Structure 1
Amino acid sequence: MSLINTQIKPFTADAFKSGAFIKVSDTDLKGKWSVFFFYPADFTFVCPTELEDLADNYAEFKKIGVEIYSVSTDTHFAHKAWHDTSDAVGKIGYTMVGDPTGTISRNFEVLIEEAGLADRGTFVVDPDGKIQIVEINAGGVGRDASELLRKIKAAQYVAAHPGEVCPAKWKEGEKTLAPSLDLVGKI
């Protein structure tokens, strides 16, 4: 079953953000766009490149009203230690959520049970708490923050403009489509 258009499940977790330990829950997401960015583990190889890419683009996400939550099955303590020792991870200003029990990873169906690690899963959640975008990558394949930004802008556009859809490679300001009987077979 697809998670698209499903409501996120309730959760509460410890996290690290801006030099402090905080609590995060599903209720914190209400009314805003959010990204859950799952990755296998702290102190690894592809993960810091992805997290740094998100950090480098975090201001752009904030400009369009999106909050980022990176999530792994490590603890919030490990997130802090990694943040303090890695130049790439040290750039992070968004929330790093600890999921040592795997609850959040299970909720989003990305937990690799036998390994106790999360797949590389990206989930865009709308202000109503519904999942609008799902992307799962193999462990060796890193993601691109600029492509994620493009997809979120498309999802936000569609949410704000009922009856319109964004075609392939759509970028902000470009023409959209209005599905209709007249359009069938013309594209």
Structure 2
Amino acid sequence: MSVINTEVKPFKASAFKDGKFIDVSDADIKGQWSVFFFYPADFTFVCPTELGDVADHYEEFQKLGVEIYSVSTDTHFTHKAWHDASDTIAKIKYTMIGDPTGLVTRNFEVMREDQGLANRGTFIVDPDGIIQAVEITAEGIGRDASDLLRKVKAAQYVRNHPGEVCPAKWKEGEATLAPSLDLVGKI
């Protein structure tokens, strides 16, 4: 079952952010754009490269009014230990949600039940809490934060410009399409 165009299910979790432990819930995401960035586990291999890449682009996401939530089934304590132990993870300023019960991971339908780990899943959530984009990749395939940034901009554009859509490889400032009978068969 696809979670596209569904509302984020209720959750409450502990997280690590800016040197502090905080609580995060579904209520916190309302009224802003959010990205949920699921990954299998702390202290692994592809995961720190992805989280570091998102950290390098975090300021750009913030300028767009987007909050980032990384999520794994590790605890918030493990996130802090990883933050303290790794120069790559030490760059992270966004919220790192601990999900040891798997509730958040199951809510987004990315739990590997046989392992208790999350798949690599990326979800763009609009200010109403509705999931607008989903990307799931296999274990060995890392994601690209610059492409995620492009997708967020496209989602924001479409929301702010009803009746327009963004074609493949669309970048901010480029032409969009206005679907109509006149375009059928002309693209």
Q: TM-score, normalised by structure 2?
A: 1.00
How much is the aligned-residue C-alpha RMSD, in angstroms? 0.3
1:86-125 equivalent positions in 2, closer than 5 A: 86-125=86-125
Aligned to 1:40: 40
| Counterpart AA for 1:166 | C
1:19 aligns with 2:4: no
By how many angstroms is 1:52 displaced? 0.2
- Mapping of 1:164-183 within 5 angstroms? 164-183=164-183
Deviation string 1:130-184 (CA, Å, 9 cap, x unpaired) is 0000000001000000000000100000000000000000000000000000010
Alignment partner of 1:166: what SS? Answer: coil
- Look up the SS of the partner of 2:68 in the other structure: strand
1:11-48 Cα shifts (integer Å, max 9, x gaps): 00000000000000000000000000000000000000
Moved over 2 A (4+): none
The DSSP-based 3-state class of the residue aligned with 1:60 is helix
> Corresponding residue for 1:8?
8
Question: 1:160 maps to what in 2?
Answer: 160
1:48 corresponds to which letter in structure 2? Answer: P
State the shift of 1:65 in Å. 0.6
**5+ unaligned residues in a row in structure 1: which ranges?**
none
Cα shift readout 1:115-138 (whole Å, capped 9, x = no counterpart): 000000000000000000000000
- What SS does structure 1 have at the residue aligned with 2:101? coil
Counterpart residue identity of residue 136, structure 1? I
Pairs aligned (count):
187
SS in 2 for 1:164: coil
Which residue identity lines up with residue 175 of structure 2 in the other structure? K
Identity %: 77
| TM-score of the pair, normalised by structure 1 | 1.00
Q: Quick one: distance in 1 between partners of 2:172 and 2:55? A: 22
Q: State the 1:2 CA deviation.
A: 1.1
Amino acid at match of 1:182: D
AA aligned to 2:26 is D
